[in-house]
Structure 1
Amino acid sequence: MDRLDAMQVLLTAVECGSLSKASRKLGQPLATVSRKVSELEDHLKAELLIRSSRGLELTPAGRTYVAAARAVLEQLHEAERAAAGEYVEPKGDLVVTAPVAFGRLHVLPVVTAFLAAFRQVSVALMLTDRVTHFLDDQVDVALRIGDLPDSGLIATRLGAVRRVTCASPAYLASRGAPAAPQDLAHHDVISFGSMSLPATWRYSSNGEEMAVPLRSRLTVSTVEAAIDAGLAGAGVIRTLSYQVVDHMRDGRLRLLLEGFEPAPRPVHIVYDRRNRLPLKLRAFVDFAVPRLRDQVAAVEL
């Protein structure tokens, strides 16, 4: 039995919550995953997992062993990074994640410039609007928009962006401009996201949140499509400022309900620092932070 491999299988099973999910993540047959966990339990002469229809639960011995196994594997990975020279010069692979639109518009140009400057580093840029997990998704650094939960992660603030409501001059000429959020009930609204749930836009009035339920005339699955429809005069849209800043500045979209928008949302670059920081990660953070700060400042409205 390869004990290090068995440790990794056990940790993956615990993180995934089931042996079947772990088998899919590891790309191994379910029977193989189950066998490796059973062999580890036989070797230790202790039950580590309680298997049930609701998933997996660690026994007291399992909790102790998983904590120790995680520490062992982290020390092994640390030793491998040191042996590979990641603390001598920036080299190796980096996984960077960012929201789809922000990543395409602002992170991708920084990544391509970074690759030109650091020839020994490769980057996998994961663009997704879901919140990624550093361990589960094997992420090295993330760009996050919004308030951050308390965690052991290191976060550097890059600036802030805000929600904006806007429409084209042609639409406003024919329908007028809403004076308050409640007036949106009498306007054509373009929303994006879920096709099955009703749209609700949240504003602020006298320091209190105001939820405005809407009936969308048009619902699309991406923010890019909503912006295109707004530019075409199909109705009122609501996005983050960086997504429409160029259209606002050239007059193709006009700002609405500015006094009712909630506070700006912070933008952070976030990474995990459990051990020594590999030079590839330190190099990326040092390279990206000033450039992204400039980009965020440039899209403020």
Structure 2
Amino acid sequence: MDRLEAMAILLRVVDKGGFSAASRDLGMPLATVSRKVAELEAHIGTRLLVRTTRRVAPTEAGTAYVASARRILEEIDETERVAAGEFQAPRGELILTAPVLFGRLHILPVVTDFLAAYPEIDVRLLLSDRNLHFVDDHVDMAVRIGALPDSSMVATRVGTMRRVVCASPTLLAAHGTPQAPGDLARLPCVSFDFLSPAATWSFRPGGTGRTVDVPIRPRLSVSTAEAAVWAAARGVGATRVLHYQCAETVRAGALRIVLADFEPEPAPIHLLHAGRGALPSKMRVFLDFAAPRLRDALALL
């Protein structure tokens, strides 16, 4: 049995969600695809795939094996490219993920410049406000905003982002501009559930370094920052979002930032990738290309 070939076939079955789709993609008979995976499972001594009602998915052991197999095949591919003198010409598909609005405003411009600089690399940019899984979603690199959990991931910090409270001039004229976090009690608010799931907002009184939680009165709770900014601009209530999410509306004059002296620590922004030894060249060159450009762009916010 050619284990490397069997690994590659297994990955294609997982990526395509089934044996038939992998067979078509590989141009290989379905029976051959099934036999190669079965031989690999027999060699390892455990089941790697399970059929669900909709697709083929890896078992618990299969998930770990797929991740290792993907790493092994990438490292072999990288080694062959270096040996062939292609170290200076990275190629292949790079899969990135980022929050929707942040990705559109800040990652997409970097990606378009990167594609021009590296014509042999293709990029698949997955914009999602949920954190995609590196293995399950086949992600190479991710943008994460906020504190990172302890993990084996490698993080490159590219900046920070303020968490701001903003309100429409009309609302402030009717209710008064808050001078301290406690003044929010007299303002209706729009709660952005992802950033502030509870009916409290955290603040850091100037010069203290400690945080305090202030109760708010949410007239409206929404699940996206775009909806929170839209509602706040129309006077429904004050809202708290990340600065980039409201910056354009603030520049247009439809919202004003308040309580700037009481903002909590800015949220860190990182480019994240799996900690798995030497990076494939496509990832290394993107990291070197993107990190300084993102730092420069975020420094202007």
Is the CA contact 2:114–2:286 (under 8 Å) kept in the aligned structure 1? yes
The CA distance in 2 between the partners of 1:122 and 1:67, in whole Å, is 21
The CA distance in 1 between the partners of 2:5 and 2:183, in whole Å, is 61
**Alignment match of 2:256 (pick from 254, 257, 262):** 254
Is residue 267 of structure 1 aligned with residue 269 of structure 2? Answer: yes
Q: TM-score, normalised by structure 2?
A: 0.74
CA deviation profile, 1:240-292 (whole Å, cap 9, x unmatched): 11222233345432222223221111112223453443332232222212221
> 1:219 corresponds to which residue?
221
CA deviation profile, 1:107-148 (whole Å, cap 9, x unmatched): 111111222222222111111222233333222222221222
Q: What SS does structure 1 have at the residue aligned with 2:109?
A: helix
Q: Which amino acid aligns with 2:212?
A: M
Is residue 133 of structure 1 aligned with residue 157 of structure 2? Answer: no
Is residue 113 of structure 1 aligned with residue 102 of structure 2? Answer: no
The CA distance in 2 between the partners of 1:192 and 1:69, in whole Å, is 40
Is residue 102 of structure 1 aligned with residue 102 of structure 2? Answer: yes
Shift of 1:212: 3.2
The CA distance in 1 between the partners of 2:88 and 2:279, in whole Å, is 11
Question: For structure 2, which runs of at least 5 residues remain unmatched after alignment?
Answer: 20-30, 51-57
Is residue 192 of structure 1 aligned with residue 192 of structure 2? Answer: yes
Shift of 1:39: 5.7
Is the CA contact 2:167–2:258 (under 8 Å) kept in the aligned structure 1? yes
Q: TM-score, normalised by structure 1?
A: 0.74
Q: Which amino acid aligns with 1:188?
A: P
CA deviation profile, 1:44-96 (whole Å, cap 9, x unmatched): 5x5679x9xxx9776xxxx9x89986775565454566589763402221111
**Would the alpha carbon gap of residues 181 and 67 (structure 1) be closer, same or farther in structure 2, given more than 3 Å must change?**
closer
- Cα RMSD, aligned residues only: 3.9
**Would the alpha carbon gap of residues 140 and 43 (structure 1) be closer, same or farther in structure 2, given more than 3 Å must change?**
closer
Q: What SS does structure 1 have at the residue aligned with 2:90?
A: coil
Q: What SS does structure 2 have at the residue aligned with 1:218?
A: strand
Q: Aligned pair count?
A: 280
Question: For structure 1, which runs of at least 5 residues remain unmatched after alignment?
Answer: 13-22
Is the CA contact 2:187–2:217 (under 8 Å) kept in the aligned structure 1? no
Is residue 173 of structure 1 aligned with residue 173 of structure 2? Answer: yes
The CA distance in 2 between the partners of 1:178 and 1:147, in whole Å, is 28
Q: Which amino acid aligns with 1:123?
A: V
> 1:20 corresponds to which residue?
none
Q: What SS does structure 1 have at the residue aligned with 2:107?
A: helix
Using the TM superposition, name which of 112-121 and 143-152 deviates more.
143-152
**Alignment match of 2:283 (pick from 281, 284, 297):** 281
Is residue 28 of structure 1 aligned with residue 18 of structure 2? Answer: yes
Using the TM superposition, name which of 285-294 and 215-224 deviates more.
215-224
**Seq. identity, %:** 52
